[in-house]
Amino acid sequence: MVRSGNLSVDSSSASHRRTPSRTVTLGHIQPQAPSCRTVYCNDRDSNKPVGFKGNSISTTKYNVFTFLPKGLFEQFRRIANIYFLGISCLSMTPISPVSPITNVAPLSMVLLVSLIKEAFEDWKRFQNDMSINNSTVEILQDQQWLPIPWRKLQVGDIVKIKQDAFFPADILFLSSTNPDGICYVETANLDGETNLKIRKALERTWDYLVPEKASEFKGEIQCEQPNNSLYTFTGNLVIQKQTLPLSPDQLLLRGCSLRNTEYIVGAVVFTGHETKVMMNAMNAPSKRSTLEKKLDKLIITIFCVLITMCLIGAIGCSIVTDSEDLYLGLLKKDWEYRNRLAIGFFTFFTLITLFSSIIPISLYVSIEMIKFIQSTQFINRDLNMYHAETNTPASARTSNLNEELGQVEYIFSDKTGTLTRNLMEFFKCSIGGISYGCGVTEIERGIAQRNGLKVHEEERSTGAIREKGFNFDDPRLMRGAWRNEPNPDLCKELFRCLAICHTVLPEGDESPEKIVYQAASPDEAALVTAAKNFGFFFYRRTPTTVYVRESHVEKMGKIQDVAYEILNVLEFNSTRKRQSVVCRYPDGRLVLYCKGADNVIFERLADGMDDVRKVTREHLEHFGSSGLRTLCLAYRDLDPETYNSWNEKFIQAKSALRDREKKLDEVAELIEKDLTLIGSTAIEDKLQEGVPNCIETLSRAGIKIWVLTGDKMETAINIAYACNLINNDMKQFIISSETDAIREAEERGDQVEIARVIKEEVKKELRKSLEEAQLYMHTVAGPKLALVIDGKCLMYALDPSLRVTLLNLSLNCTSVVCCRVSPLQKAQVTSLVRKGAKKITLSIGDGANDVSMIQAAHVGLGISGMEGMQAVMASDFAIAQFRFLTDLLLVHGRWSYLRICKVVMYFFYKNLTFTLTQFWFTFRTGFSGQRFYDDWFQSLYNVFFTALPVIVLGLFEKDVSASLSKRYPELYREGIRNSFFKWRVVAVWATSAVYQSLVCYLFVTTSSFGAINSSGKIFGLWDVSTLVFTCLVIAVNVRILLMSNSITRWHYITVGGSILAWLVFAFIYCGITTPRDRNENVYFVIYVLMSTFYFYFTLLLVPVVSLLGDFIFQGVERWFFPYDYQIVQEIHRHESDASKADHLEIENELTPQEARSYAISQLPRELSKHTGFAFDSPGYESFFASQLGVYAPQKAWDVARRASMRSRPKVPKKK
């Protein structure tokens, strides 16, 4: 509540009420109370002592001083990096048998690459910030408008914002070039809504438009402290000792843009990080995939294996050395270690450095590289997820969660704009008890299919009109035919009500074909478009008049322009649920037109309308069950005396300083009565293309879909039916607050009693439903279950005492629909399943109200395209249409999960195989810690000789093609069950590693006892180890081909190249020697080996025998215990591989127009999650396009950017 002269605060802060400024003794400056701020407009000196924040914003993660410590801290959060840091330190001590370079070099390389990546991403954020901070805005100085950068803007400055420009701060709206002091604002960056919002300046400030007049403005703004509530604002404007109340209608938020207004003038209230949008721009939570967390457990397990191996070696060394050192002829005083405990202790750490390669240091880097390429080259460039209509490709905003897309079990979806298009079309109407409109909605088709009926859709009449916002077909009303209906006067009133009762602004030429309607909601634009097509064309608006071109009113074919004087507008709000206009006809007739919700209009009808009301109610119920959004229309003729008497009260209420909204509502009640019902309208918000099929496919894949919406229960249930989420075969549990017991409690009005009754009812319903659900679950062929719950009941169901019951019931249901839920409740439900059920969740939405839900899930998806950017900027992935989920999850998600699992298992296998050969060797050396391989062999094994094939595996592995992945969605269940990363799979790979290491080691060492080289000498240690290493490199690389489902030329190139790289390295390394290096051990070894027949025989035999076990195991598994994908492979093994079609050959698949559109969409753009507009802005498409020679139309968001870019001299084009 706002009071005259000071800002109303709650009782807890009453002690901080502000003293009027004239009583303050500190000059012109007041002390700032904790609960409110005072801003002096057009007076920087008075604002300076308060120390308001500047308008510069920073969204970077690091600065010059924090980059190194913070960056390193991020890297050492990974267990493997901490492990290798410890190993690197150990390798620098005398007990290490290997050179420090063996461990330090790979670790340094890994950290360097990771830090460069972090620096590059943060540099992009910094550039984005600079671009925004250096955008220009005009401020008032010395009675003229002067441009300054946004960062220099201060609280209290008077600014001028031109059409299509973004607001640089939160601004108090003072005056506008539009009549009535209104302006139109697009809030797409804030809440995802593309329809324009109307903001209205206080009448007292309308004159401050030109610089001379604006410089006289010396107001004082008393308002709330900065907060993150986008839709509330409380304050007063004190001007010339007059106090005027302020509301959200006068606040223009940073991130929004000005539309359909030449320019506005305003005063800055909040700047920089204190603006509402920046206070909402919290950092997106850092997400790690479930597989990466399991990978940590695997590494801990491997570390435990390493400790076990070292303990075995340490114990063995202490036993062997203590009993067998006599032959060395050493005296006790000569002996370096005094006792077996000391011997075991030092040997333990020696072996840790020797076996350190068991944990692969290059694993994380390889996985990051694979995920990055998967995101940028496969997901972002998939034409199956490219929406040509809005020129929007899919966008992977993070590469950390690719494999998580292959394991999703629960999807939480918003409805409006996510499942539906948010494009309203006038579809049907009812006038005077007669229903009009022949079309069949998507929901009606779905109902008919469920009931086994065939839909006979009437053919469209020859004169039917179809345009955006209008999909109505009934010859009885079109082209003046309404004159022949039983109630032509009511038809005329309905069309006039649609044409007059609104706040729509016409734009462009005053012709029906070219005019564009700018409306505060898509519904309102659809209603005005309908009036136009019925022959009542609204084409011009002034502050007091609406002009309508009417056809066929007096006689068929006659067209006349009629000016209706608008006397009063009683605006729509969520309490009134209706909008009214009082207008005067040219002949002096006074009429009130009213449109609103059915229950509100029916309460205000005149007596004697029961019959029409009853028939209209039936029509409304039919429209509602067809999934249409309904509205009732009524009118009342007024006599001049009644109107004048009422208008005096209206003017008094409009000028009231206290409780203005309440008084206006009370005055409106006096005239909005005794109405005559005209009829109703029905508007369709269509489902997005392919939504029902997509949901059905995802359900077959084992994914459970929940819809969380703010809509009423009936609408949500109908939409759920329409998109195959709920069907008649399901058992439905409906928990609603619309019960008799709850209604009775609400009528009594005791809030404590209401809360108690609702909680008891919810508790009773939840337990009853859970018992019933468990009974169904125990039956053999029980029906699928669906739960529908509304927001009020959900609030109590989320109480800690009922949360477990709700979760158990929900998990037994295939589909869940939550209606009338708040953004916070959406996030709570998501967290409930994520944390309570430990299931992998995905949230998808398109607006600001979905951000908390998107960030609460394991994977967040934003719907981009026609909507705003806020949900997209908070998300991990962005797609343009809901139906693209099929490709994203069933194709890219499945493949990514399969690939990453295979990569991790392969890394584990190849490093364990390598380390075990060294381990077997320690048994022969008395556990002395003698190294089996040369240092450089060990260092380069992971990063050079086995690195590339595994990356190719991670990029190109495909079990089945994309088309088969979608044809058999059940394959996705393998990811939900985590079939490829179970401990059983780890055990199989570990067994394979043990077997192959034993074959490679024992075959070579045993056979080499009798082997001699060409000069007759027996093989030494380095001959044997080099031969074992060669067999190992061949076996491990060829194993890639054995485990791959799809082998490309890249597989052959990298496998052959890796083996060749080892041989080339061995030739060079073994052929040179220097006095100060350690490779004298292996000098000339490879040449000696290659001079023997034994070498070639061993290279042929050992890898074949070592891989034979895997070959037999895979054959047995495929025949007797196959995975689902192997069955599908067998079914389609004779079909040609269509996988090439899955790769993106843009030129062959797109029309020239679509190809150009796609080229524009692929231009460089910012992917930063936090920028100054509203979390992000799409970047410099137009600029980059001009650089690359692609034509791209200018976008509104480029305006602010262009102003900040330095002008460059034009380079003449070469002819």
Catalytic residues: 414
Nearest to 92 by CA among 422, 266, 349, 295: 349
Region label for 417, one of left (φ > 0), alpha (ψ between -120 and 50) or beta (otherwise): left
Cα–Cα distance, 153 to 665 (Å, whole number): 39
In the β-sheet with 420-431, what is the strand arrangement from edge to edge?
434-436, 420-431, 676-687, 628-638, 590-596, 578-584, 559-570, 545-551, 536-541
**One-letter amino acid of 834:** R
Nearest to 491 by CA among 587, 631, 597, 635: 635
Which stretches of 374-415 are DSSP H helices? none
Nearest to 363 by CA among 830, 788, 946, 991: 946
Nearest to 1018 by CA among 953, 943, 1094: 1094
- How far is CA 651 from each of CA 95, 500, 683, rounded to the nearest angstrom? 93, 22, 35
Name the DSSP letter for residue 326. Answer: G
Residue position matching structure tokens 């997509």: 694
**Taking a C-beta distance cutoff of 8 angstroms, is the pair 881, 872 a contact?**
no
Cα–Cα distance, 827 to 708 (Å, whole number): 10
Cα–Cα distance, 718 to 713 (Å, whole number): 9
Q: Which tokens in the block code for residue 861?
A: 């998806």
Residues 6+ apart with CB under 8 A from 590: 567, 582, 583, 584, 637, 638, 639, 640, 643
Cα–Cα distance, 849 to 190 (Å, whole number): 10
User: How would you write 1012-1069 as a 3-class SS string?
Assistant: ECCCCCECCHHHHHHHHHHHHHHHHHHHHHHHCCCCCHHHHHHHHHHHHHHHHHHHHH
Phi, psi dihedral angles at 1018 (to 5 degrees): -75, 160
CA-based torsion, 1142, 1144, 1146, 1151: positive or negative: positive
Cα–Cα distance, 358 to 351 (Å, whole number): 12
DSSP-assigned states of every residue in 116-184: HHHHHHHHHHHHHHHHHHT-EEEEEETTEEEEEEGGG--TT-EEEEETTPBPSSEEEEEEESSGGGEEE
Nearest to 246 by CA among 53, 37, 387, 399: 37
Nearest to 1001 by CA among 913, 938, 910: 913
Nearest to 254 by CA among 66, 57, 390, 421: 57
Name the DSSP letter for residue 836. Answer: I
DSSP-assigned states of every residue in 514-525: T-EEE-SSHHHH
Phi, psi dihedral angles at 1083 (to 5 degrees): -60, 125
* Cα 734 → chain centroid: 30
Our separate counts of H helices and E strands in the chain read 43, 33
Cα–Cα distance, 832 to 858 (Å, whole number): 12
Strands 182-186 and 578-584, by their bridges, are unpaired
> Coil, helix or strand for 333?
coil
Helices 713-722 and 610-625: crossing angle, nearest 10°? 40
Cα–Cα distance, 769 to 774 (Å, whole number): 9
**Taking a C-beta distance cutoff of 8 angstroms, is the pair 784, 731 a contact?**
yes
